[in-house]
Amino acid sequence: MTGVIASGALKTIALIARPKKDEAVALARELIAQFSDRKFLVEQHLGESLGLPWVSAAEIAQTADLAIILGGDGTLIHGARVLRGRAVPMLGVNLGSLGFMTEIPVSEASEMLRTVLAGEAKLDSRMKLTCRLYREESVILEDEVLNDVVINKSALAKVSTHETWLDGAYVATYLADGVIFSTPTGSTAYSLSAGGPIIHPSVDCVVVTPICPHALTQRPVVVPGDQVLSVRLTNELQDVYLTVDGQVGHALKKGDRIEVQKSPHRLLLVRNPRLDYFAVLRQKLHWGER
């Protein structure tokens, strides 16, 4: 799904930067100077580095019209969490190592921002997931996810069993080190490393990827994005955790149930006009090389 940004709609710009990154501070200072007609919002660590007033994450979520990400994919995921589901376009400038979602090189940041402010940029609309953790039928954790929901164990924990259902229909009981529930965006992250498929981001679906399953017949499966996945942990557990987007972790117990389904909110990602999705795969992952 794609779209465009209306010209003149972007008055307030949030700068969300990777902490302790001198290059991010320098670029933030440059953008603020070049686009002085706009109001910029910065988080505490960046404001202190720039010597400028900073605002809370809540104020960024409420008032930002555009978010510029100065970092890598982890910084972009953090930015998506800061925005709390608001449909704010995100422009990712790559200051990380891979930068699969932060597609814009530092040298093109100013030019790309001008394109965005002129209403000439195109957007990708990315599916997100809602994750709920139930314990004795009470919700003890609810979160939104851009990449993946992961159930896994520590290095010394025993293999766990994951009884999995889709819209009430039994799927399988995975005897494995864990299970990954991934969006199409997250299909090139942990799920890919665990043997999952690459999914084009325009396809709304969920990839279910067992981690080191103890059966050759248990392979990754792709299911519709509009159905509810449910997994219950059915054996005695020790050091097994639920992790959402690699940002928040929660210890699990026997009988806990995790539900994953398509979120009503989506992430709007400013596209690099010089790269299509397969060009990104080739450039970042060397996909298709012989």
Query: What is the pLDDT averaged over residues 148-155?
Result: 89
Query: What is the pLDDT averaged over residues 134-159?
Result: 89
Per mean pLDDT, which range of 62-66, 162-166, 228-232, 273-277 is the poorest? 273-277
Domains of the chain and CATH, by start: 2-121+271-285 (3.40.50.10330), 128-264 (2.60.200.30)
Residue 4, pLDDT above cutoff 80: no
Active-site amino acid positions: 73
Computed over every residue of the chain, the mean pLDDT equals 92
pLDDT at 170: 97
- pLDDT 10s digits, 68-109: 999 999 999 999 999 988 999 999 999 977 778 999 999 999
Q: What is the 3-state secondary structure (H, E, C) of the chain?
A: CEEECCCCCCCEEEEEECCCCHHHHHHHHHHHHHCCCCEEEECHHHHHHHCCCCCCHHHHHHHCCEEEEEECHHHHHHHHHHHCCCCCEEEEEECCCCCCCCCECHHHHHHHHHHHHCCCCEEEEEEEEEEEEEECCEEEEEEEECCEEEEEECCCCCCEEEEEEECCEEEEEEEECEEEEECCHHHHCHHHHCCCCCCCCCCCEEEEEEECCCCCCCCCEEEECCCCEEEEECCCCCCEEEEECCCEEEECCCCCEEEEEEEEEEEEEECCCCCCHHHHHHHHHCCCCC
Residue 168, pLDDT above cutoff 80: yes
